[in-house]
């Protein structure tokens, strides 16, 4: 890359405290090729990278698919299916030089035509959940020659390479696309592992791709075990029934650290857990009710008593580490003010439904229980409902006209897989993102305008727009930020090259069993 390219690349670096934890000992010795067993809290939703709405699905997809670029363990951008790239001086034209000799898992060659076929799919299929991660910014995609492709943007986007790191930028076999393969259940990528079996709500098992361009995969397979109960995941990794446990309760950290056979990693994330408010629910139309709900929640107590200090109270709708963060000071605990607003709104005794998953986020169900109590303390009546994750996602992604009349408040988290601010504001708060992933059905023309200006702003001007966005969002409160969870991953000490990055994605495709170091 030339000096201009390097300068532009530097613009998109996201500075994150404890940006990643690299689970690797120096120069370990590989040993037996075994199946890596990973215990996680929820099942996946889909194996289609262009339509994926959740991180558990991404855990699996990352082993099957690859993109032109991806993040390394420190959120730096590195080449994968593109060996190198050039960016035009005006920042609008990206030319990618592709890796040769790569084949999809169905034997189809990877080349520039395959890249174009994937972008054509995003352009042509308006039902894909993740099309808006890339399509709004791209004017056209051109095949230069067999192994060179050019992406031309409508306007410069400082974080475009970051956007390509999202699963929306992963490459699917053009043959599978053309033949209409059910990619939700039958993935076809270029990655080191391929699907062996998916038994819903039980496990997803992957096997090595024998024709992987990067050489023979280091594991005999990867098996993701669906284990909703936190303590059950802990017990499995302690007993050897699992090699890795994701979303380990913080209360177990000190005890697990005493086990000489386990590594315990506690890390920050860039996820915010919200209480979403259905902006079309007749019970939540008065802004004072939403503001009272926010004021009634003791975020410090949730972090201290439920997360056991592994996390932080939310300060805004985006995490503190992201470019564009601004602390408005509006997220505070004021029980008396909350009661006053409920009285002013004539909402005393108002009955509201509160939905939550269990086992998807650290402390999700317990936090929802506490929030229900906080809201009842200001005169509201709360009916709490626990959902299975797959059904929950399907329900929340329904169009407004199809949404349940009981949809009032719901607990949901968001960590931008792009690792930057566009990956929050565009999917969550832009009007055109209803219902994927503007789950609150929020529409504000002023916010729309500011988001689009922020997306094309130079780095030193971004906060001029994002500050205004956050001020408006924390007054309207379609999504009430609650906490920024940390995460705890426990794994056996003989596992090497297991990576966890703050976008809350655990990378298993590089992992292997080894000793020494």
Same domain (yes/no): 397, 500: no
Same domain (yes/no): 300, 178: no
pTM higher than 0.75 for the full model? yes
Q: Using alpha carbons, select from 105, 110, 126 the residue that is nearest to residue 47.
A: 105
Question: What residue ranges of the chain have pLDDT lower than 70?
Answer: 1-32, 516-517
Residue matched to tokens 């303390």: 377
Are the beta carbons of 104 and 95 closer than 8 angstroms? no
Instruction: Give the pLDDT of residue 460.
Output: 85
Tens digits of per-residue pLDDT, 246-285? 989 999 999 999 999 999 999 889 999 999 999 999 999 9
Same domain (yes/no): 93, 170: yes
Same domain (yes/no): 360, 436: yes
Instruction: Give the pLDDT of residue 30.
Output: 55
Residue 100, domain member (yes or no): yes
Instruction: Give the pLDDT of residue 75.
Output: 83
Same domain (yes/no): 27, 97: yes
Residue 319, domain member (yes or no): yes
Same domain (yes/no): 495, 390: no
> Percentages helix, strand, coil for the chain, rounded to the nearest 5?
30, 25, 45
Same domain (yes/no): 502, 359: no
Instruction: Give the pLDDT of residue 15.
Output: 34
Same domain (yes/no): 369, 289: yes
Residue 6 burial (10 A CB sphere; 0-12, 13-18, 19+): exposed
What CATH number does the domain containing 323 carry? 3.10.105.10
Instruction: Give the pLDDT of residue 9.
Output: 40
Pick left, alpha or beta for residue 421 (phi over 0 → left; psi -120 to 50 → alpha; otherwise beta). alpha
Same domain (yes/no): 407, 511: no
Are the beta carbons of 1 and 89 closer than 8 angstroms? no
Tens digits of per-residue pLDDT, 4-43? 443 334 343 333 333 343 344 444 455 568 999 999 999 9
Same domain (yes/no): 403, 492: no
Are the beta carbons of 313 and 297 closer than 8 angstroms? no
CA 224 to chain CA centroid, nearest Å:
18
Instruction: Give the pLDDT of residue 32.
Output: 67
Greatest extent of the chain over all pairs of C-alpha atoms, in Å: 68
Residue 253, domain member (yes or no): no
Q: Which residues are within 8 A (CB) of 500 and not within 5 positions of it... i.e. 6 or more apart?
A: 20, 21, 23, 265, 267, 487, 489, 506, 507
How far apart CA 146 and CA 303 sit, in angstroms, is: 53
Residue 393, domain member (yes or no): yes
Residue 375, domain member (yes or no): yes
How far apart CA 17 and CA 266 sit, in angstroms, is: 13
- Decide: helix, strand or coil at residue 198: strand
How far apart CA 129 and CA 428 sit, in angstroms, is: 12
Q: Which domain holds residue 113?
A: 3-190+487-515
Cα dihedral across residues 282, 365, 480, 300: positive or negative: positive
Residue 162, domain member (yes or no): yes
Same domain (yes/no): 171, 317: no
Instruction: Give the pLDDT of residue 517.
Output: 39
Length of the chain in residues, anyone? 517
Residue 240, domain member (yes or no): no
Residue 435, domain member (yes or no): yes
List strands edge to edge, sheet with 93-98: 82-87, 93-98, 148-153, 138-145
Number of domains in the chain: 2
Instruction: Give the pLDDT of residue 347.
Output: 98
Same domain (yes/no): 472, 509: no
Alpha carbon separation from 446 to 296, 322, 469 (Å, rounded): 28, 22, 9
Instruction: Give the pLDDT of residue 419.
Output: 83
């Amino acid at each position: 890359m030339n000096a201009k390219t390097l300068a532009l690349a530097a613009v998109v670096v996201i500075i994150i405290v404890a940006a990643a934890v690299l689970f690797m000992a120096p120069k370990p010795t590989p040993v037996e090729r075994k199946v890596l067993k990973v215990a996680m809290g929820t099942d996946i939703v889909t194996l289609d990278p262009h339509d994926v709405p959740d991180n558990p699905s991404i855990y699996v997809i990352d082993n099957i698919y690859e993109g032109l670029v991806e993040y390394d363990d420190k959120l730096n951008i590195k080449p994968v299916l593109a060996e190198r790239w050039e960016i035009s001086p005006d920042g609008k034209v990206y030319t990618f030089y592709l890796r040769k000799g790569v084949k999809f898992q169905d034997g189809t060659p990877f080349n520039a035509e395959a890249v174009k076929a994937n972008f054509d799919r995003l352009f042509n299929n308006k039902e894909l959940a993740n099309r808006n991660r890339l399509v709004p910014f791209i004017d056209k995609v051109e095949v230069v020659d067999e192994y060179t492709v050019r992406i031309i943007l409508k306007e410069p986007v400082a974080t475009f390479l970051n956007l390509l790191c999202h699963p929306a930028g992963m490459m699917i076999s053009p043959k599978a696309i053309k033949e209409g393969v059910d990619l939700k259940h039958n993935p076809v990528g270029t990655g080191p592992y391929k699907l062996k079996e998916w038994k819903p709500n039980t496990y997803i098992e992957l096997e090595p791709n024998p024709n992987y361009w990067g050489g023979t995969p280091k594991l005999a397979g990867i098996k993701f075990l669906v284990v909703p109960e936190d303590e059950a995941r802990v017990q499995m990794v302690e007993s050897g029934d699992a090699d890795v446990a994701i979303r380990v309760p913080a209360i177990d950290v000190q005890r697990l650290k005493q086990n000489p056979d386990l590594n315990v990693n506690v890390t920050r994330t860039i996820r915010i857990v919200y209480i979403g408010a259905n902006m079309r629910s007749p019970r939540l139309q008065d802004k004072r009710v939403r503001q009272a709900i926010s004021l009634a929640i003791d975020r410090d107590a949730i972090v201290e008593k439920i997360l056991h200090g592994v996390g932080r109270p939310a300060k805004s709708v985006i995490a503190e580490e992201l470019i564009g963060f601004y602390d408005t000071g509006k997220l505070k605990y004021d029980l008396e003010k909350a009661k006053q607003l409920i009285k002013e709104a004539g909402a005393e005794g108002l009955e509201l439904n509160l939905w939550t998953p269990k086992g998807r986020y650290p402390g999700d169900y317990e936090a929802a229980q506490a929030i229900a109590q906080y809201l009842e303390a200001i005169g509201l009546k709360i009916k709490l409902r626990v959902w299975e994750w797959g059904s929950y996602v399907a329900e929340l992604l329904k169009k407004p006209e199809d949404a349940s009349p009981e949809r009032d408040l719901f607990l949901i988290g968001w960590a931008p897989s792009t690792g930057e601010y566009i990956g929050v504001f565009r999917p969550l708060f832009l009007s055109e993102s209803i219902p994927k992933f503007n789950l609150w059905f929020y529409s504000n023309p002023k916010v729309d305008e500011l988001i689009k200006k922020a997306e094309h702003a130079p780095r030193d001007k971004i906060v001029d727009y994002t500050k205004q966005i956050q001020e408006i969002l924390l007054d309207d409160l379609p999504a009430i930020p609650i906490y920024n969870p940390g995460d705890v991953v426990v794994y056996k000490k003989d596992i090497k090259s297991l990576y966890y990055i703050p976008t809350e994605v655990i990378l298993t495709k590089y992992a292997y069993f080894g000793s020494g170091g």
